[in-house]
Amino acid sequence: MGSTQHYVIIGNGVAGNEAAYCLRQRDPESRITIITAGRLLFYSRYELPRLFHETCDWRDFLVNPVDYYVKNRINVRRNSFVTHVDAQRKTLSLAHKEEIAYSQLLVASGGASYLPAELDEFAPLLNRFNLYSAACKVRDILPRKGKVVMLGGDVLGLDLARNLVNAGYQVILIPTEHTFWPHRVDSDERSLFLGALKDMGVEIIEGVKIELIAQGAPGMSARHILFDDGREIFADVVMPFFGLLPAADFMMGSGVDFERGLLVSTNLRTTDQNIWAAGDVCQIWSPEENQYRFYYGWKNVKKMGEIAARNMTGDDIHWETATDQKMFLDKNKQLVSPYWEHD
C-alpha cells in the first residue's frame, strides 16, 4: 500500500526544496506539494548579481531543471498566496479561496526585505533586489557606469555592491546599524570592514540621515537624495538593504507560537505536532544561550530543510552547530562573508 502522507511546503527557497528532495528519498510514495507566491521555479537569489556581468535569462538561474520536478513527482504551485493556516483542521487557505489539506506542513517561506518606518514614504522610489524580476528591472534602468546609492548595506547588498563595482558601476553606501547584517561586528571591526569597502571602490557617506528622496528633474539623474546636513546627491537607483523580516503573516491565528519568527525546538518542530519550520522564517531554541535564535546563509538554511524533512519522516535529528557566521578580511584584505558561499 502506498503512503497516505501529503507533505505541504510553503516556500520555494533553499530550505523548502532541500526538504522536498529529502522527503521524496525517504517516502517515495507520498504526495509532495510546494506552494510559492513566485512565478518561477527554485532559483538562486545569490546568483542575481551575474545579471551585471553576462547575458543570461531566468533559465540560467534555476537550481534544478524543469523535468526534475516531474521525475520526483514534486508538485509546485506557483503564483499561489497562502492566507491562513488552520492547524486544528490541518488545512491551509489560498488567496483564490482554494483549501489544501496536509498531513504535515513545513513553513519555509523565508524572509521579506525590511524597510525602516522612516523610509516608508519613499518606498515607491526605491528599487529592491530580492526577486529575479526586481533584479532585472535594476539592470534595465541602470545606465552603463551608472550610480547606485545603497542604504543600510546588509550582506546581500554588499555582495551586490562588490559585483557592481567590479562591473564598472559607481556605488555609494549610506551605512546604518543594519550594515553587515546579519553579522555581529564590534566598533573596531566595523571601521576595518568599512575601510575594506572603500578600498574596493565603494564610496561611503557616514553620519547622515536621509531627509528626502525625490524623483529627479527631467534630463537629470532619476533620483535626488537630500541629507540632514544639507548635502545632496543624485543617483540612477536607490536600493534599500536592511536585512530580512520573517514572511509568515499567514500563520497569525494558527495557534502556533510566534515571536519575530516561528518558534521551533531544536528538531525544528513548532508548538503544533504537525507543523515544522525551517530557514529564515524560524527561530531555533538555543539551550546554550537560553533563547531562540535566527540562523542565516545558504548552508545553514539547507541543513534546516534536511533536518525538518528527516524528522517529518520519523527521525529525531536536532540542530546543533551552525556554519561559521563571522565576517573577516582575507589575506588580500578583501571582505569575506560565509553567507556569500553556497553549493
Give pLDDT tens digits for 125-183. Answer: 999 998 999 999 999 999 999 999 999 999 999 999 999 999 999 999 999 999 999 99
- Mean pLDDT computed over every residue of the chain: 94
Q: Are strands 104-107 and 210-215 parallel, antiparallel or unpaired?
A: unpaired
Per-residue pLDDT, 1: 47
Residue 208 clears pLDDT 70, i.e. is over it: yes
**Interval 42-95: pLDDT, tens:** 998 888 998 988 788 888 999 999 999 999 999 999 999 999 999 999 999 999
Candidates 235, 224, 80; CA nearest to 169 is 235
**Interval 257-274: pLDDT, tens:** 999 999 999 999 999 999
Judgement on whether residues 176 and 192 belong to the same structural domain of the protein: yes
Judgement on whether residues 119 and 237 belong to the same structural domain of the protein: yes
Judgement on whether residues 221 and 124 belong to the same structural domain of the protein: yes
Final residue of a structural domain among 196, 212, 242 = 242
Residue 37 clears pLDDT 70, i.e. is over it: yes
Q: Are 256 and 272 in contact (CB under 8 A)?
A: yes
Residue 226 clears pLDDT 50, i.e. is over it: yes
Helix (H, G, I), strand (E, B) or coil at 80: coil
Of 104-108, 307-311, 334-338, the poorest mean pLDDT is in: 334-338
The Cα–Cα gap between 130 and 340 comes to 15
Per-residue pLDDT, 342: 65
If pLDDT is split at 50, 70 and 90, which confidence band does 219 have? confident
Show the domain range for 228: 115-242
Judgement on whether residues 226 and 261 belong to the same structural domain of the protein: no
Q: Edge to edge, what strands does the sheet with 31-35 contain?
A: 74-77, 31-35, 6-10, 104-107, 275-277
C-alpha cell at 91: 488545512
CATH number at residue 77: 3.50.50.60
Residue 180 domain flag: yes
Per-residue pLDDT, 324: 66
Q: Are 179 and 190 in contact (CB under 8 A)?
A: yes
Residue 326 domain flag: no
